[in-house]
């Protein structure tokens, strides 16, 4: 999928969560969204919503920015807390 087919937004709303909870991405779709994530260290908001096109329909994936303990460091990382569909051909 071309990056022009994807839209990004930092806004998170209950309607965005409602739509994303109905959609379960497969590994390839999740990877597409991951490629467009901004740097979590410089992103100022707590969430990032990525829109991907699936069968000509927009689907939302929400990522949460969280600190991860790494010894003495606590860098920010993106976390996807939804469900993922893993097909046999994906493994």
Cα(83)–Cα(85) distance, rounded to whole angstroms?
A: 7
Q: Is residue 61 within 8 Å of 52, Cβ to Cβ?
A: yes
What sign does the CA torsion over 37, 53, 89, 80 have?
positive
Cα(67)–Cα(79) distance, rounded to whole angstroms?
A: 10
pLDDT, tens digit, 9 for 90 and up, residues 45-67: 999 999 999 999 999 999 999 99
pLDDT, tens digit, 9 for 90 and up, residues 1-26: 444 444 454 444 444 444 445 789 99
pTM of the model: 0.70
Residue 38 backbone dihedrals phi, psi, to 5 degrees: -75, 170
User: What's the pLDDT band for 91 if we cut at 50, 70, 90?
Assistant: low
Average pLDDT value for the chain: 81
Scanning the structure block, which residue is given the tokens 């990877």? 31
CA atoms within 13 A on the CB side of 71: 0
């Amino acid at each position: 999928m071309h990056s022009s087919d994807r839209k990004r937004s930092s806004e998170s709303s209950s309607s965005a969560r409602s739509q994303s909870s109905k959609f379960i991405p497969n590994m390839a779709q999740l990877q597409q969204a991951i490629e467009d994530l901004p740097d979590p260290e410089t992103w100022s908001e707590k969430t990032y919503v990525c829109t991907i096109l699936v069968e000509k329909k927009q689907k939302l994936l929400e990522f949460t920015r969280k600190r991860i303990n790494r010894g003495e460091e606590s860098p920010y990382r993106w976390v996807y807390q939804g469900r993922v569909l893993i097909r046999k051909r994906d493994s």
